Amino acid sequence: MGYEFDFAPVFANFDQLIEGALITIQLTVGAIVFGTLIAVPCAIGKTAGPRYVVWPINAYIEIIRNTPFLIQIFFIYFALPGLGLRFNPNTAALIALSVNVGAYATEIVRAGIESIGKGQIEAGIALGLKPIQIFRYVVFKPAMRTIYPAMTSQFIYLMLTSSVVSAISATDLAAAGNNIQSQTFAAFEVYLVITGIYLVLSLGFSALFSLIQRLAFTYPTTR
């Protein structure tokens, strides 16, 4: 091939990649939190709410799931200022990621809630549990145990999708890589290193989610 690899320019600017990776982590964690806060009420509303609640939730889900994420983030960052709503790039990225993952997570949580049999709920009523106790112990926790793998897979995909936010100048890992590449022209080396960092982040999130699953959803064994 005759190509001489030169990673020196990349490692000379490695601090920018670290800063970008930290922003990516912050955006991902923030979107997981806010997306879940969106998804749980929407899932409950879709499964148990009246029609005037179900319809807007369905509309929200269909709009988000059937439009490109890039267009969604452009709408928030470029279109909403026309209505007087202006956000800096990182805030717009967080809002877009949260709204996006919220729609997908709503359907996952809904499926988990609907997987709980009516017999289990009736058993909770027969035991004299209050409605909030029935929801917490009989419905929500077993449902979360069922959907946890799907939710965490969606969250890891969210982290990878966050690379798109560099299109609005958000200062994430992809943006840092683009800046270094434009300064050094070491495209192969830069994007190879970025690929490795995203892989490390994915494996790190996966390990963290596995630990949380063992701590939260594994029943203690007794002898």
Judge whether 223 lies within some domain: no
Judge whether 1 lies within some domain: no
Other C-beta atoms lying within 10 Å of the C-beta of residue 136: 12
Judge whether 180 lies within some domain: yes
Residues 216, 218, 219, 223, CA torsion sign:
negative
Judge whether 32 lies within some domain: yes
pLDDT of 220 above 60: no
Judge whether 222 lies within some domain: no
Question: What's 112's domain CATH number?
Answer: 1.10.3720.10
Q: What percent of the chain has pLDDT over 70?
A: 95
Q: What is the C-alpha separation between 151 and 75, in angstroms, rounded?
A: 26
User: Exposed, middle or buried, 60 (CB in 10 Å: 0-12/13-18/19+)?
Assistant: middle
Judge whether 126 lies within some domain: yes
Judge whether 201 lies within some domain: yes
**pLDDT at residue 134 in the model:** 74
| Cβ–Cβ under 8 Å, residues 2 and 68 | no
pTM of the full structure: 0.89
| Cβ–Cβ under 8 Å, residues 173 and 20 | yes
Q: 209, 110, 93: which is closest to 153 by C-alpha?
A: 209
Judge whether 72 lies within some domain: yes
pLDDT in tens, 188-208: 999 999 999 999 999 999 999
pLDDT in tens, 41-68: 999 999 888 999 999 999 999 999 999 9
**pLDDT at residue 222 in the model:** 47
Q: What is the C-alpha separation between 212 and 4, in angstroms, rounded?
A: 44
CA-to-CA dists, residue 81 to 72, 88, 92, 217, angstroms: 14, 11, 11, 44
pLDDT of 223 above 50: no
Confidence of residue 219 (pLDDT cuts 50, 70, 90): low
HSE-up of residue 3 (Cα within 13 Å, Cβ side) = 8
Number of domains in the chain: 1
pLDDT in tens, 103-155: 999 999 999 888 876 777 677 777 777 777 777 767 777 888 889 999 999 99
**Which residues form the domain of 174?**
8-217
Residues 6+ apart with CB under 8 A from 124: 133, 134, 137, 138
